[in-house]
Amino acid sequence: DAGVTQSPTHLIKTRGQQVTLRCSPKSGHDTVSWYQQALGQGPQFIFQYYEEEERQRGNFPDRFSGHQFPNYSSELNVNALLLGDSALYLCASSPLWGGEGTEAFFGQGTRLTVV
């Protein structure tokens, strides 16, 4: 049973460019959340997708957008990249009903470096 898979694992982009990161959730999970983890910090919640819609959003600008596909996989898009967007981007999947034992499982992350 594959866990949460993210691609690519590493990426280098130039300021002002746009980037797309991808995530496939764990089998049986229909909800995907994205987090940004700056070096030396804990992960910060970006947004959550369920049924192809953004359901909750953290304190991130509109440059951060996402998409969820019918097969539950998801993309994170960041436009007009800034140096401060350099971070590990984590995808987490979970079932929506959220009872005990349904915590989020994280992927290995995509390391984005903006130069």
Partner 1 sequence: GQQLNQSPQSMFIQEGEDVSMNCTSSSIFNTWLWYKQDPGEGPVLLIALYKAGELTSNGRLTAQFGITRKDSFLNISASIPSDVGIYFCAGQRTSGTYKYIFGTGTRLKVLA
Residues of this chain that interact with partner 1 (CB under 8 A) are: 4, 31, 33, 35, 40-45, 48, 55-56, 58-59, 90, 92, 94, 96-101, 103-109, 111
Question: C-beta of 89: minimal distance to partner 1 in Å?
Answer: 10
| Neighbour tally for 38: CB within 10 Å | 13
The answer to whether residues 66 and 55 touch, using CB atoms and an 8 Å cutoff, is: no
Quote the least distance from Cβ 104 to partner 1, whole Å: 5
As a whole number of angstroms, the distance between CA 43 and CA 58 comes to: 12
Residue with Cβ nearer partner 1 (22 or 111): 111
Q: Which is nearer to partner 1, 34 or 81 (CB)?
A: 34
Among residues 28, 34, 29, which one has the least CA distance to residue 85?
34
Q: Is the peptide bond before 70 cis (omega within 30 degrees of 0)?
A: no
Least distance from partner 1 to the Cβ atom of residue 64, Å: 13
